[in-house]
Amino acid sequence: MTLTVEQIVQGGLCIGCGLCQAVAGPDRIQVAMTPDGRERPMVRAPLDAATLARINSVCPGTRVEGAAPGTQSAGAQHDLIWGPAERLAIGYASDPKVRYRAASGGVLTALGQFLLESKRVGFILQVAASASAPLRTERRLSFDTASVLEGAGSRYGPAAPLIDFTSILERAQPFALIAKPCDISAVRNLAKLDPRVDQYMRYALAFVCGGASELTKSQDVLGQFGVREDQLSLFRYRGYGNPGPTRLETKDGRAFELTYQDMWEVEATWRIQARCKICPDAIGESSDLTASDVWPGGGPSGEDEGFNGIIVRTQRGLELYDSALAAGAITVMPDPVSFRDFDNFQPHQVHKKRAVWARLAGMKAAGQPVPETHGLRLSDCARLNSVADNLAEARGARRRSAAGRLGEPPATPA
């Protein structure tokens, strides 16, 4: 069944990646911020059947797949929860400045810089705080290592890194993408229709994602300190330590900080978007390499020097990992790491992976559309649960769907 863009949005399947705008063109679809603090596509002109079918084929709200066949070696490890891995490690950026400024250990930033320095790519597609409106996040093309570093640190609010992705392909230059797992799912979907993706996107690097919050979460922080958005000169979610504080600075010289615990300890205040609650792949299975926080028990116990869990997904990712390690761009700890260590670092991801199949079943029972998934072992993960637990997840999702809590109102610009 082909969904309209409006059905994708109102079904709670849109994450606001922006690829539909790139596919249809900004004259027909424009991604804009809604009053609820979500970046969503606004249909400006009628879409023909071919364009709508293409959007359905690439949208990470309608289709999510695991690792592509043939991208792993015969010796790769495979785990029911975590998927494939050529290598598992704990590491960090060797440059102490990168390690300190980044959200965790700086591995993705260091790899992005290494890709530019080694001339493997011409630029990095990533996101960063808007220079003119620092509460907002915008897509960034980084052509030098300094620009990559400027984009270091988590951006928890809405972001649309793919709004002009087809124009980026038209540059006909090799590049790397550093993004959320859902963004990478989108471009992997597009690669099945457009050979330029595999021709020019040489590497796709992901972070293990806890979900994208609505902008209203950050706007509430401004209200807490009595700051208007137009007064901001800086809004930094994390970094400058691990996890580092959320820091606001104003144009008139005032500064405010919240600890990570102050910002995120109460999950009910996260305002995570609906699509994130039923995400089939928040751990970057279709990436070449995924980096995570290393927090035993699932959360920080204080500040530390900064470490990343590293899951090398593909042979291409392994070549990058080995080369960056040999060049001294990243450092890894000598102790062996297992998938069960990642269970300990990211227990909420284990719970989500085991719960998603039942949640999707509950949504379907309520008549709500769900993404088509392949290669993610969701039903097998659900079998790790008791029947009672799966029924509870499914019934809860059905109730929330029927009440509209896993959907969204029609998208209108703020």
The full DSSP string for 323-350 is: HHHHHTSEEE-SS---HHHHHHH-HHHH
In this predicted structure, the answer to whether residue 309 has a pLDDT above a threshold of 90 is yes
Q: How large is the average pLDDT for residues 79-104?
A: 97
Confidence class for position 340, pLDDT limits 50, 70, 90:
very high
In this predicted structure, the answer to whether residue 409 has a pLDDT above a threshold of 90 is yes
End-to-end CA distance of the chain: 30
- Tokens 């996107």 found at: 201
In this predicted structure, the answer to whether residue 267 has a pLDDT above a threshold of 90 is no
pLDDT above 90: percentage of residues in the chain: 97
**Mean pLDDT value across the chain:** 97
Q: What pLDDT does 1 receive?
A: 87
Q: What pLDDT does 208 receive?
A: 98
The number of residues making up the chain comes to 414
Helix residue ranges, H only, 26-119: 49-58, 96-101, 107-117
Q: What pLDDT does 297 receive?
A: 96
Give me the amino acid identity at 338.
Answer: S
Dig out the tokens for 307 from the structure.
């470490």
Q: What pLDDT does 348 receive?
A: 96
Confidence class for position 347, pLDDT limits 50, 70, 90:
very high
Q: What pLDDT does 307 receive?
A: 98
The SS3 of residue 125 is strand
Q: What pLDDT does 266 receive?
A: 86
Q: How large is the average pLDDT for residues 401-405?
A: 95
Q: How large is the average pLDDT for residues 372-393?
A: 98
- Tokens 């010289």 found at: 253
Q: What pLDDT does 268 receive?
A: 85
Distance CA 104, CA 364 (A): 37
The SS3 of residue 135 is coil
pLDDT digits (tens, 9 = 90+) for 59-76: 999 999 999 999 999 999
Q: What pLDDT does 17 receive?
A: 98
Of 368, 366, 284, give the one whose Cα is nearest residue 83: 284
Q: What pLDDT does 414 receive?
A: 87
Contacts of 1 (CB under 8 A, 6+ apart): 369
In this predicted structure, the answer to whether residue 27 has a pLDDT above a threshold of 90 is yes
Confidence class for position 89, pLDDT limits 50, 70, 90:
very high
In this predicted structure, the answer to whether residue 111 has a pLDDT above a threshold of 90 is yes
In this predicted structure, the answer to whether residue 265 has a pLDDT above a threshold of 90 is no
Contacts of 191 (CB under 8 A, 6+ apart): 197, 198, 201
Q: How large is the average pLDDT for residues 143-156?
A: 96
In this predicted structure, the answer to whether residue 186 has a pLDDT above a threshold of 90 is yes
